[in-house]
Amino acid sequence: MIYDRDKANRMLRVVLEVTSGALDVATRPGGQPGLRLPAMNAEKTMRSFAAKGDVDAMYTEYLRLLGEQADIGRVLDRLHHRCFESEFYRFAKLYWERD
């Protein structure tokens, strides 16, 4: 297991950019209110892993989000927002970088 709070915070920033876009779409008039709860749950889970500095758990959770939250990605991509799929390479690059 890798525990690195600095790396975890950089990885969390990627997740927060995606979830902020999802929350923006969910709260705008005529938006997609179904995006709010999954985005908030993803953010909460990733924040807890980042607080511990558990980057392995963050990476595993991100991969789970790619599979289970694919509908969120389709909606965000259609509306030209960042989604988990579009930010995967950036997230993986942060995970695999050497210090």
- Give mean pLDDT, residues 11-36: 91
Question: Do 25 and 76 form a contact (C-beta atoms < 8 A)?
Answer: yes
Q: What is the pLDDT of residue 24?
A: 92
How many folded domains does the chain comprise? 1
Q: What is the dihedral of CA 59, 61, 64, 65, to 10 degrees?
A: -100
Task: For residues 58 and 84, give the distance between their C-alpha atoms in angstroms, rounded to a whole number.
Answer: 13
Residue 99 scores a pLDDT above 70 = no
Predicted local distance difference test score (pLDDT) of residue 58: 95
Q: Tens of pLDDT along 14-25?
A: 999 999 999 999
Range of the domain at 43: 5-96
For 44-80, the pLDDT digits (tens) are 999 999 999 999 999 999 999 999 888 888 888 898 9
Q: How far is CA 30 from CA 24, 25, 33, 34, in A?
A: 11, 9, 9, 12
